[in-house]
Structure 1
Amino acid sequence: MKIGRNEKCWCGSGKKFKRCHNGRENETPVSKGEAINHSQKNALRKCCYVPTDLKHECSKKIINAHTVSKSSSLKEIADESNHVLGLKINLANIIKNEGKLVPEKIGINQASTFKGFCSTHDKSLFSCIEDREFVGDDEQCLALMYRSVAKELYAKEGGLNNSEFAKSTDKGKHLLGQLSIQNFVADQQKALNASLAELSELKSELDDQLLGKSVGNLSHLIIDSTSPMPVAVSSIVAPINDFNGNLIQDLGDLSIVAEHLVFNSFSSDGKGYVVFSWSKNSTKVLSFINSLLALEPNKIFSALIRFFFGVAENTFTSPVWWSGLSDEQKDKTKNLIMSGVNPFKPTDNNLLVDDGINFSGWEISNLRKIHF
């Protein structure tokens, strides 16, 4: 490949070739320590995802905000040492576990936290779910949804930062290696930017509802039980396939605006809840929800387990519940956790379909449809 020194670099950086990839194969490769250091700094960046109109109220203290309540939910399922099982997703841990995501003990002070809100707004925005019993009113459901969307924005923005760093990992590699890395990162960034644009639009809608600028346009499904939920989660996903394996939406086509589903699983006052939330006009998400509701009641908990572990990383498990699982159930859960981790492995269309491996430990008492 011939390119002039003063021409724009082939990698798309916008820099001149002589200041970018000229002689890249002779540069010192990025070390493991440099990569880990970048990953750690990226995970500790601070911001407050409060609506712009409220930014002037921000305190100077950005805290470790919990996406799953520590006092009620995490403490409810923790062991005697106040630990739950969760995924420690950082580069150092991934290297240690040879690329595998493994459930490990995490203290409830650290579980589910991210530096995405200041102390003032973490209190004011989420006191409705932290300081009073969950009843499933509009304010509480909106707060749950808002926090999950903020956490996902934080994660996606972090992913974009990591992808920028990944561009430098072609140092010391031959031209084909450089091309492979730059093309992979470029494709990854296209997907990340598309997802960030969609999430930002959703957050903007939630901002307006939070500030009273628009009427609520959200639907919710609340599943509850008289016992605590052994798996706590707070996340958002654009579902691809439903619980029967049917295609919901093709996320490979970036021209299509993805429809998102927010979901939270938690405990409050000794009771367990699962809350699904989505925009009322998201017909594809409603179709996904209906495929869950069509299952036999005694199959829903197992379906939820497949869903939580199969699509969400921000998931925390009761060590007692986990220790009671059979080897087959544990292997199934570990396989669910690893689904989608390898970007070169095709998506399993039957990820959520019943395969005969069932789970117990939570009896559903009631299902509530709100603003369907």
Structure 2
Amino acid sequence: MVPLTIQEEQVHLKKIDKDLKLCLFNQFDNNCSNGIIKAHSVSKELFLRKISRNNKVYNPQMDTIKYKVNMKDIGVNEASVFYGFCNKHDTNLFSDFETGKFTASSSQLLKLGYRALCLEIFKKIKVIKKFSFYKENMDKGKNLLDQYRIQMSSNKEIAFNKNSLIKLEKIQALLHSDIIENTSDKMKHCLITLENPQNILCSSMISPEFNLNLERLQKLDNTTNAKNLFLNSFIFDDIGYVLISWLAEEDEYGKIFSNSIFSESHLINHKLIALILMYTENVFITPSWWDSLPDEKRNHLKKLIEYVEGFESNVTLNIQDHLEALQYLTHKFL
């Protein structure tokens, strides 16, 4: 068979990105309306516009060939977008803090964590589709050994992500009753208040193996048993917050991780910045702040974003003070 060209491969992958549109709440309430919309995992009007310059923000993106981070200038209309909800369900789920006052109620905090979860589910579905494409197409014209390698590699990635997706959908089902009944039994939180609005926003679901005191909390050899955190950095009424959430049934894991942030007062800001930049991809940065930094500081922050291996032995070398990014004030467990 004729092998795909690089251009053909990119066209197919972009088509998967463009065509994947679904309502992730449909399985719980199939009464969708007004079509699938551009849902923002980080609120456009409430959060992104506050850190924008000319309605644009920076998003760190990895050059997979050079393995270096570049800052992409992205408009707030496109930043953090995923096609994961219909208009009705996006409005019903998130309007209490999108259009109302932020009170840090358990319901509002739950929904911030829930939106990060739904983004992760959407990303897993997309990754499975892309590796299924690889499996079906990328071995065309290859010799038998290369075909075998491509098939095995694709099968491994598909199986890994399907296992992760099973766990994520179980969490979504677990949180469903709290969402519908407006209760707060299934999720716990650590809400961190900052002295000033911060320059780094995010919304993501992460699964740290180590806390920020370098103590191992879990091994990720089986993703179906992974413990997770939901991480959000946002601004309400000119007050900056970082929210760490976890399942109530994993309360010990969540508290041990969160407490490791505050164990040394002089490292709290350092650890918060490292947590956001080292663990999350769905990150948005104030362009004017980033551009004002000396090259040395920008390069250091890029190293945090690029950092993927040896975390347990080298994290202390990668944590430095960047008070311009965020400044810790207080925290409370909810």
**TM-score between both structures, scaled by the size of structure 2:** 0.92
| Stretches of structure 1 lacking an aligned partner (at least 5 in a row) | 1-26, 341-345
Q: Answer yes or no: is the 8 Å Cα contact 2:107–2:183 preserved in 1.
A: no
The two structures, once aligned, show a CA RMSD in angstroms of 2.1
Match of 1:47 among 22, 40, 44: 22
1:59 is aligned to 2:33: yes
Q: Does structure 1 residue 33 correspond to structure 2 residue 2?
A: no
Deviation at 1:333, TM superposition (A): 2.2
Aligned-residue offset at 1:353: 3.2
Deviation at 1:119, TM superposition (A): 1.3
TM-superposed deviation, 1:163? 0.7
Measured in 2, the distance between the counterparts of 1:272 and 1:309 equals 17
The secondary structure found in structure 2 opposite 1:244 is coil
The one-letter amino acid paired with 2:5 is S
Deviations 1:273-319 (A, max 9, x none): 111110122123332112112131x4222212111111111000011
Q: Which amino acid aligns with 2:327?
A: E
Aligned to 1:74: 48
Is the contact made by 1:303 and 1:354 (CA closer than 8 Å) also made in structure 2? no
**Equivalence for 1:316:** 284
Residue 322 (structure 2) aligns with: 359
Question: Percent identical across equivalent pairs?
Answer: 29
Q: 2:218 aligns with which of 242, 249, 264?
A: 249
CA distance in 1, matches of 2:139, 2:278: 32
**Partner of 1:142 in structure 2?**
110
Answer yes or no: is the 8 Å Cα contact 1:241–1:350 preserved in 2.
no
* Cα distance in 1 for residues equivalent to 2:177 and 2:5: 45
Q: Distance in 2 between matches of 1:327 and 1:139?
A: 42
In the alignment, is the contact (CA less than 8 A) between 2:107 and 2:184 conserved in 1? no
Which moves more between the two structures, 346-355 or 165-174? 346-355
Q: Where do 1:1-372 residues align within 5 Å?
A: 27-44=1-18, 45-50=20-25, 52-56=27-31, 58-79=32-53, 81-87=54-60, 98=66, 100-167=68-135, 168-212=137-181, 216-254=185-223, 257-282=225-250, 283-296=252-265, 298-340=266-308, 346=309, 348-350=311-313, 352-353=315-316, 355=318, 357-361=320-324, 362-370=326-334
> 2:333 is aligned with what amino acid?
K
The alpha-carbon deviation at position 351 of structure 1 amounts to: 5.8
Contact 1:67–1:148 at 8 Å: present in 2 too?
yes
3-state SS of paired residue (1:86):
strand
Separation in 1 of the partners of 2:179 and 2:114?
9
Contact 2:106/2:184 (<8 A) preserved: no
**Deviates most, 32-41 or 149-158:** 32-41
1:301·1:360 contact (CA, 8 Å) conserved in 2? yes
Amino acid at match of 1:328: E
TM-score (norm 1): 0.83
Moved more, 155-164 or 315-324: 315-324
Q: In structure 2, what residue type is equivalent to 1:363?
A: Q
Q: 1:301 to 1:132 in 2, by over 3 A?
A: farther
Count of residue pairs brought into register by the alignment:
330
Distance 1:339 1:28, change over 3 A: farther
Quote the Cα distance in structure 1 between the aligned partners of 2:24 and 2:222: 29
Could you list the per-position Cα deviations for residues 102-130 of structure 1 after superposition, in whole angstroms to 9, with x for gaps in the alignment? Answer: 22110111100100111112111111121
